[in-house]
Amino acid sequence: MGGIAVVQITVSDELARAITEAGSSVTLVDSRGRALAHVTPVEPTAPLGISDEHLEEIERRMANDDGTRYTWDEVKSQLRALAPE
């Protein structure tokens, strides 16, 4: 029962990020520019448009969250109080 061998190649975090951030399809080339493979990211590591720095800021803010929440009516009331008459 000779099946097709699946080869797994582990890439650096930098290359993985570049492939993921590219969006759709990526062509991997060697140092001479010869195409080696076409890669389509399976799943992005972060929603499109969100950088690692944004994710770190979100995580920082979540860690410092004191749990305070406001209703929409409270927010509107506060904004009305700030608006010039």
Task: Supply the pLDDT for residue 73.
Answer: 92
What is the pairing mode between strands 35-39 and 26-29? antiparallel
Looking at residue 1, its amino acid is M
Which tops the pLDDT comparison, 72 or 54?
72
The pLDDT score that the predictor gives to residue 78 is: 92
What would the two tokens of residue 34 be?
């010869």
Residue 32: what pLDDT? Answer: 93
Asked whether residue 3 is domain-assigned, the answer is: no
Per-residue model confidence as pLDDT tens digits over 14-69: 888 888 888 778 899 999 999 998 888 776 555 666 777 888 888 898 899 988 89
Domain membership flag for residue 25: yes
Number of domains observed in the structure of the chain: 1
**Residue 7 within a domain:** no
pLDDT-based confidence at 77, cuts 50/70/90? very high
Backbone angles phi, psi at 28, to 5 degrees: -90, 130
Domain that holds residue 28: 13-82
